[in-house]
DNA sequence: CCCTGATTCGC
DNA sequence: GCGAATCAGG
């Protein structure tokens, strides 16, 4: 068990999204304890759980390729377009993060 | 009884 | 730092 960047990223995202530790833990594949503990180490502040997400404990290894690709290293399939592709693949804006997050999340069903 | 998060405890 | 066990509340 080692929290990879994507793990923590997804964790944070899901957590910020309003997902409960149990949900996040389930999708991530860890126990809610691990998630809570990890969050604690990360530096989470209590008093935060307005959206009580439905306890749909449907653990599914939703490993979205898009997410993995995004988190990993994107490709540069530039064939005949030497044009300097504006790929500031440095960080993800909230929208981008939320986009892939929502996609991965909703796809869970 | 189920769930929630938070903290403690051993490795 | 990691996770399980445990605690405290709803």
What is the tens place of the pLDDT at every residue in A5-38?
Answer: 778 888 888 888 788 888 888 888 899 999 999 9
Q: What is the pTM of this model?
A: 0.65
The reply to whether A31 falls in a domain is yes
Task: Compute the distance between CA of residue A1 and CA of residue A101 in angstroms, rounded to an integer.
Answer: 22
pLDDT > 90 fraction of chain A, expressed in percent and rounded: 8
For chain A, the domain total comes to: 1
Q: Which residues contact A63 (CB under 8 A, 6 or more apart)?
A: none
The reply to whether A90 falls in a domain is no
The reply to whether A80 falls in a domain is no
The beta-strand segments (E) located in chain A are: none
The reply to whether A38 falls in a domain is yes
The reply to whether A33 falls in a domain is yes
Task: Compute the distance between CA of residue A70 and CA of residue A47 in angstroms, rounded to an integer.
Answer: 31
Using the C1' atom of nucleotide C4, identify the protein residue whose alpha carbon is closest.
A33
Domain coverage including residue A26: 5-42
Q: Which residues contact A28 (CB under 8 A, 6 or more apart)?
A: A7, A10, A11, A14, A35
Residues close to nucleic acid strand B (C-beta < 7 A): A 19-23, 32-33, 36-37, 39-40, 44-49, 52-53, 55, 57
The reply to whether A24 falls in a domain is yes
The reply to whether A48 falls in a domain is no
Using the C1' atom of nucleotide B3, identify the protein residue whose alpha carbon is closest.
A55
Q: Report whether A14 contacts A101 (CB < 8 A).
A: yes
């Amino acid at each position: 068990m080692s929290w990879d960047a994507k793990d923590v990223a997804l964790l944070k995202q899901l957590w910020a999204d309003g997902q409960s530790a149990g949900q996040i833990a389930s999708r991530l594949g860890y126990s809610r304890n691990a998630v809570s503990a990890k969050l604690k180490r990360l530096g989470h502040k209590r008093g935060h759980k307005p959206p009580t997400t439905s306890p749909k404990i449907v653990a599914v290894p939703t490993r979205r390729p898009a997410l993995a690709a995004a988190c990993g290293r994107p490709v540069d399939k530039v064939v005949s377009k030497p044009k300097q592709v504006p790929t500031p693949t440095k960080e993800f804006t909230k929208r981008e993060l939320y986009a892939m997050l929502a996609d991965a999340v909703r796809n869970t069903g």
